[in-house]
Structure 1
Amino acid sequence: MKAFFLSLFAAFTLAASAQDKPEGLFINSKAPDFSGTDQNGNKVSLKELKKKGPVVVLFYRGNWCPYCNRQLKNLQDSLQLITDKKASIVAITQEATPGIQETVKKTGAAFPILHDAESKWSKAYGVNFAVDERTIRRYKTADIDLLAINNQKEAASLPVPAVYIINRDGSITYRYFDADYRNRLSVRELAEQIK
C-alpha cells in the first residue's frame, strides 16, 4: 500500500512539473494577434503585417543574453534572405524599452522589436515560464535583475527563445521551439521554411 501511494505521489509530481513547462503553439494553430509600438515609435500589429505576406515572430530573452544578441545580429545581417521572400520579422521581448535600445545598439536590428508588457504575448504563444529563485539569484550576481529589467512586479519570467512563421491566414506554418536557450535557428534554415 505504501508503494502504491509513493507511486501515485511520484506520478502527480511529474505531471505537475510537466504542466509548468511551456510547450509553445503548434503548426496549424491560429497565431494570437498582437499590436504595440516598436523601438522607433511605429505602430506594429500582426494583423497588418499578415496582409503583406508571411510574418516571422521571434521571442528573445534580452540584451543581456549573448545568444539572443548573436541571433538578432545574424538576422539583421542576413535580413535580405527573409525580405526576398516577401516576409517581415518582428521580435518580441519582455525587456522594457531601455533594454530594447541596448539590443538595437548591440545588434543593429532595424526590424521591429516590441516590449511584451506583462508577458501577455509570450503567454498567448505558450513560450512564457517562471524563473526560479535560484536562477534569479545567479543572474543578480551577474548584475542582471530580471524584475527590474522587465518591469515585472512580483515574479520573474522569461520566454523560451522561439520562432514562428505565420501565414496570411494567421496560421502557424513553422515553429522552432527549444527550451535550451543556447540552441538557435540559423537564418538560412529559417528562410528555407518561409513559403
Structure 2
Amino acid sequence: MATLAAQLAATHQGVIDNAPAPIYAAIKESIDGIKSTFDKSAAIQAGTTLPSFKLPNALGQEVTSESLLAKGPILITFYRGDWCPFCNLALRSLQTHLDAFKAKGVTVVAISPELPNTSLTTTEKNELKFEVLSDVGNKFARQLGIVWDQPQVVQTVLDAFSVDLKARNGDDSRAVPVPTTLLVDAKGVVRNVHTDPDYMQRLEPTTALEWADAL
C-alpha cells in the first residue's frame, strides 16, 4: 500500500493537472499565505496539559476528553472537513492503521468544525471505526492555537468546487483548523505534536505509531 505521503502527492498532482489555472493560483496563494503567517510557537506544545473538551460525535452524543483519557492515551487529529480530499486520505490512512493503534492502547479521535450530520457522512464515506467529533465554531481548536481564518481568495476555490462551508459548519466564517495531530498520554499531557500549515502535507500514521511506542 502506498504511503500517505505518496497518496497526498498524487492528489496534489491531480489538482495541478485538472484545476483551472486561476483556481490553482488561488489555492497556492492561500497556502503560501498561511505558511508565512502561521506561528507554530503559539500552537499547543508538547509537555503541556490538553485543555478538557466536550464535543458531539457523528450521532450527536457528547464525548468528553475525560471519558477518552479514562481508556488510556489518545491520538487526536484535526482535519478541515469532509470536502477536503487531503483530509479524507489522512482519515482513511488512520483507519487502515487503527488496529495497530488499538493494540498499543491508543484511542484515535478526529475533530473538525463540521456539524454532526456532516461528520456522520464523513464516517460512513470513509468507513471510519473511530470517533469523529464536531468542534463547531472551532472553539476547541482556537484554544490550541491552530485555527486558520481563511482569506477571501479561498472563497473562489470553495465556489468552484461547490463547497458550502456555512451549511457544513453552521457559521459564516471560513475558519478551519490547521491540520494537526496530537498524542496525549493517559494523564492528559501532550507528548507529541505535528502541525503543518500546508494542508497537503500530513503526519504518517506510522510515525504516530512510533510516538505511541515511546510512551
What TM bracket, shorter-length normalisation? Answer: 0.7 to 0.9
Query: Which 5+ residue runs of structure 2 have no aligned equivalent?
Result: 1-33
Aligned residues between the structures: 178
How high is the TM-score relative to the length of structure 1? 0.85
**Corresponding position: 1:69 with 2:88:** yes
Q: Which amino acid aligns with 2:38?
A: K
Query: Which 5+ residue runs of structure 1 have no aligned equivalent?
Result: 1-16
List 4+ stretches of structure 1 deviating above 4 A: 17-20
**Corresponding position: 1:54 with 2:73:** yes
**Corresponding position: 1:159 with 2:174:** no
Alignment of 1:104-115 (within 5 A): 104-115=123-134
Alignment of 1:94-113 (within 5 A): 94-113=113-132
Distance between the aligned counterparts of 1:95 and 1:82, measured in 2?
A: 25
Contact 1:59-1:91 at 8 Å conserved across structures: yes
SS class of match (2:200): coil
Distance between the aligned counterparts of 1:21 and 1:178, measured in 2?
A: 9
Contact 2:59-2:116 at 8 Å conserved across structures: no
How high is the TM-score relative to the length of structure 2? 0.77
Alignment of 1:165-184 (within 5 A): 165-184=183-202
TM-aligned CA deviation for residue 130 of structure 1: 0.5
**Corresponding position: 1:145 with 2:141:** no
**Bigger Rg over Cα:** 1
Q: 1:177 to 1:114 in 2, by over 3 A?
A: same
SS class of match (1:52): coil
Distance between the aligned counterparts of 2:89 and 2:160, measured in 1?
A: 23
Distance between the aligned counterparts of 2:84 and 2:139, measured in 1?
A: 21
Question: What is the aligned-residue identity percentage?
Answer: 26
Q: Which amino acid aligns with 2:145?
A: G
Distance between the aligned counterparts of 2:58 and 2:116, measured in 1?
A: 7
- Counterpart in the other structure of 1:37: 56
SS class of match (1:120): helix
Q: CA RMSD in A?
A: 1.9
SS class of match (2:70): helix
Contact 1:94-1:158 at 8 Å conserved across structures: yes
Distance between the aligned counterparts of 2:61 and 2:71, measured in 1?
A: 17
TM-aligned CA deviation for residue 96 of structure 1: 1.3
TM-aligned CA deviation for residue 177 of structure 1: 0.6
Contact 2:60-2:116 at 8 Å conserved across structures: no
